């Protein structure tokens, strides 16, 4: 679908169309003394809409009267789309979409839209008329006026189809419409000069959905951030008005309150087939010059005290498959000196389930997924090709190795008190009864699959999952291994849930960092994002971290900023997801006995891959390209 906008009374230049001729030849071998000459001609789509007479809509009207046919604009359209095209209209007064008033120059009064008939209040209306001709220079018979716009009609506040053309393949035989306006002025209308606009949009083919327009600024309340879709094929919903209140410290389970000019952003609950999500932007369609924010980034701005801030998802179209991808060097390394751009980002598709992930070359020079892994329950993982049967395990108890079971997926909704107390044996053939007295906290899901799009009416609610969270994976699931007690670090780089050619990040404590420098989280956060400045308590702790220091909050902000995009996705433990929207927990490939190292951060502390926890907890996963 492509669109063409025409805003009355402003003139919009036409779309230039072209054709080209491509000739190529291949020289024949000497033995057959012949050649083949190939001709290939591409005919691009050429659809155009222009207007004339767009500055003629002026009139002086006495109180208590009305006037119609206030100037006439002729809208001419041509298009070689065999499936036709449609014309949509929307109020655009003050360059704000959906505003249908005539605004007074003094700012003290306005005129609302209506049908422009006599009444107690002033109102104005629009009308479209087909232009007929006798020389067949255009075909009005193919043109239809839609939705009663053939008579005076109120100006639409959302994009509304006003005309359609059934089919065309000729860029010389298009259509012509005349548009005019009618105004009634009540006896009580204040003396002033009033003006407004209507935007017309050409869309093809004729059955295409109405394009999504930027949200009008006046629809987002003061001191709030609003999230709005910017494509018609977006799945999921977020409260379009005030779903994020301004905050300096969000608390899970509550809607944070306004505080100064500090804001925590929501992760995305929008998804779009074929695209990765790279962050938020105030630009409707982000480019390399746009400012892009991470999904959970902490931002400071004083620009929305009198009106809200509208953020749109930044989409990156998939350019290929994750499996075997080796083009990291084609991306620009994200700068730490200036705000990074989309030159550092691409998107790739996971062949196992069709999920698309935004990928970025971060400040460490490595390419990371910048979205959480959400490998779903329909995927086949290596040679574990069971139907991902549900299974339960326990960290310890009654001499049974509850970690040995087939099946990577367990829904958190099934993993609660009173749920089935069974596990599968290693070969998947035997069901073992687990002591029913074990509390849900002692039973662990290998893989938590609940990343469906949900309504955000509940705000920050621990009982709901959002698309950006992805899924939670315990250690056995993360390395795609049926043995919970596996401690082979090598297998985590060869048989992890990451796609072929990708791996889990490495972690490790201070000794490991100093001797091998192979903690990926540490290299990214400490060496690159923080310029090599170690935590203030680095020398005094086995597990160095930023907390209670001047670096803690700035480092946490960098971790969440675009394009790193780590989010407060929480973790799964004690039979429930916790710390959503207040803490991030990310798996590494490195173990220490029954524990694994992980990245953890909040708004005021960062543990860069050097802390460890028991393997049964479900954490988020980000994969890195290469060995």
* Average pLDDT across the chain, whole number: 76
Q: What is the mean pLDDT of residues 347-354?
A: 87
> Model pTM?
0.72
Band of residue 496 on the pLDDT scale cut at 50, 70, 90: confident
β-sheet bridge partners, residue 607: 600
DSSP state of 500: T
On the 0-12 / 13-18 / 19+ scale of CB atoms within 10 A, 342 is buried
Q: What is the mean pLDDT of residues 590-615?
A: 88
Question: 533 is written with which tokens?
Answer: 């400045």
Q: Compute the distance between CA of residue 20 and CA of residue 6 in angstroms, rounded to an integer.
A: 28
Furthest CA-CA distance within the chain = 94
Beta sheet of 546-547, edge-to-edge order: 546-547, 605-614, 595-601, 584-592
Which pLDDT score, from 0 to 100, does residue 321 have?
Answer: 93
Q: Compute the distance between CA of residue 507 and CA of residue 530 in angstroms, rounded to an integer.
A: 17
DSSP state of 498: S
3-state helix, strand, coil in the chain (%, to 5): 10, 30, 60
Which pLDDT score, from 0 to 100, does residue 368 have?
Answer: 98
β-sheet bridge partners, residue 503: 624
Q: Comparing 145 with 308, which gets the higher pLDDT?
A: 145
Within 8 A by CB and 6+ apart from 478, the residues are 492, 496, 497, 504, 587, 589, 619, 621
Question: 498 is written with which tokens?
Answer: 């990451």
Within 8 A by CB and 6+ apart from 235, the residues are 270, 271, 272, 273, 453
Which pLDDT score, from 0 to 100, does residue 313 have?
Answer: 94
CA distances from 273 to 175, 234, 438 (A): 35, 8, 41
Which pLDDT score, from 0 to 100, does residue 279 have?
Answer: 97
Q: Compute the distance between CA of residue 275 and CA of residue 253 in angstroms, rounded to an integer.
A: 30
Q: Compute the distance between CA of residue 142 and CA of residue 33 in angstroms, rounded to an integer.
A: 54
β-sheet bridge partners, residue 584: 570, 601
Band of residue 300 on the pLDDT scale cut at 50, 70, 90: confident
Q: Three-class SS of residue 111?
A: strand
| CA pseudo-torsion sign 159, 161, 165, 167 | positive
Band of residue 576 on the pLDDT scale cut at 50, 70, 90: low
Q: What percent of the chain has pLDDT over 90?
A: 35
Q: What confidence tens digit (pLDDT) does each residue in 390-421 have? A: 333 333 333 333 333 333 333 333 333 333 33
In 3D space, the residue among 178, 3, 159 whose CA is nearest the CA of residue 88 turns out to be: 159
Which pLDDT score, from 0 to 100, does residue 334 have?
Answer: 96
β-sheet bridge partners, residue 358: 347
Least confident stretch, 262-276, 375-389, 513-527: 375-389
| CA pseudo-torsion sign 508, 514, 516, 521 | positive
Least confident stretch, 56-60, 258-262, 407-411, 572-576: 407-411
CA distances from 439 to 281, 498, 574 (A): 45, 31, 9
Q: Three-class SS of residue 108?
A: coil
Q: What is the mean pLDDT of residues 424-453?
A: 41
Q: Comparing 585 with 432, which gets the higher pLDDT?
A: 585
Q: Are 155 and 91 in contact (CB under 8 A)?
A: yes
Q: Compute the distance between CA of residue 556 and CA of residue 600 in angstroms, rounded to an integer.
A: 10
Q: Comparing 103 with 171, which gets the higher pLDDT?
A: 103
110 has pLDDT over 90: yes
């Amino acid at each position: 679908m492509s669109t063409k906008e025409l805003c009355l009374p402003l003139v919009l230049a036409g779309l230039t169309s072209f054709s080209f001729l491509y000739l190529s030849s291949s020289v024949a071998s000497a033995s057959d003394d012949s050649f083949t000459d190939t001709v290939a001609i591409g005919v691009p789509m050429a659809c155009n809409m222009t207007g004339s007479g767009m500055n003629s809509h002026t009139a002086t009207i006495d109180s208590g009267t009305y006037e119609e046919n206030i100037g006439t604009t002729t809208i001419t359209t041509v298009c070689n789309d065999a499936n036709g095209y449609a014309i949509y209209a929307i109020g655009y007064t003050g360059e704000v979409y959906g505003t249908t008033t005539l605004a007074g120059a003094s700012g003290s009064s306005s005129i609302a839209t209506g049908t422009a008939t006599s009444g107690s209040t002033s109102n104005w209306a629009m009308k479209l008329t087909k232009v007929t001709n006798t020389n067949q220079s255009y075909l009005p018979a193919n043109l239809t006026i839609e939705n009663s716009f053939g008579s005076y009609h109120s100006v639409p506040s959302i994009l509304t189809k006003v005309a359609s053309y059934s089919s065309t393949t000729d860029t010389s035989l298009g259509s012509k419409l005349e548009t005019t306006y009618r105004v009634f002025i009540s006896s009580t209308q204040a003396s002033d000069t009033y003006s407004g606009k209507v935007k017309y949009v050409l869309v093809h083919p004729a059955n295409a959905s109405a394009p999504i327009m930027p949200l009008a600024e006046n629809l987002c309340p003061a001191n709030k951030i609003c999230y709005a879709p910017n494509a018609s094929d977006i799945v999921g919903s977020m409260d379009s008005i005030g779903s994020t209140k301004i905050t300096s410290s969000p608390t899970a389970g509550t809607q944070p309150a306004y505080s100064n000019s500090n804001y925590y952003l929501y992760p995305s609950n929008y998804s779009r087939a074929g695209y990765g999500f790279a962050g938020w932007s105030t630009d409707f369609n982000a480019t390399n010059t746009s400012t892009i924010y991470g999904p959970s980034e902490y931002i400071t701005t004083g620009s929305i005290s009198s009106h809200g801030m509208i953020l749109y998802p930044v989409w990156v179209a998939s350019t290929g498959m994750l499996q075997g991808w080796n083009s990291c060097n084609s991306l620009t390394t994200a700068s730490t000196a200036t705000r990074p751009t989309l030159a550092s980002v691409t998107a790739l598709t996971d062949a196992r389930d069709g999920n698309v992930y935004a990928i970025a070359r971060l400040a460490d020079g490595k390419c990371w997924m910048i979205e959480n892994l959400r490998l779903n329950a329909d995927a086949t993982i290596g040679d574990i090709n069971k139907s991902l049967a549900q299974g339960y395990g326990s960290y310890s108890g009654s001499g049974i190795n509850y970690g040995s079971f087939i099946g990577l997926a367990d829904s958190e909704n099934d993993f609660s008190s009173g749920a089935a107390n069974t596990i599968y044996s290693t070969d998947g053939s035997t069901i073992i009864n687990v002591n029913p007295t074990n509390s849900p906290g002692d039973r662990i899901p290998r893989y938590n699959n609940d990343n469906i799009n949900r309504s955000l009416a509940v705000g920050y609610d621990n009982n709901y999952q959002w698309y950006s969270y992805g899924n939670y994976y315990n250690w056995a699931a993360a390395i795609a291994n049926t043995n919970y007690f596996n401690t082979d670090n090598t297998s985590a780089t060869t048989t992890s849930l990451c796609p072929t050619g990708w791996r889990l990040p490495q972690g490790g404590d201070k000794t490991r960092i100093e001797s091998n420098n192979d903690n990926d989280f540490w290299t990214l956060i400490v060496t690159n994002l923080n310029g090599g400045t170690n935590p203030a308590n680095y020398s005094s702790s086995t597990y160095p971290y930023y907390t209670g220091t001047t670096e803690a909050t700035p480092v946490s902000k960098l971790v969440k900023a675009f394009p790193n995009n780590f989010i407060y996705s929480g973790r799964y433990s004690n039979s429930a997801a916790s710390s959503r929207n207040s803490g991030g927990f990310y798996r590494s490939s490195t173990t220490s006995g029954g524990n694994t190292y992980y990245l953890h951060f909040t708004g005021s502390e960062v543990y860069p891959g050097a802390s460890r926890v028991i393997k049964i907890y479900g954490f988020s996963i980000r994969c890195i390209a290469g060995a």
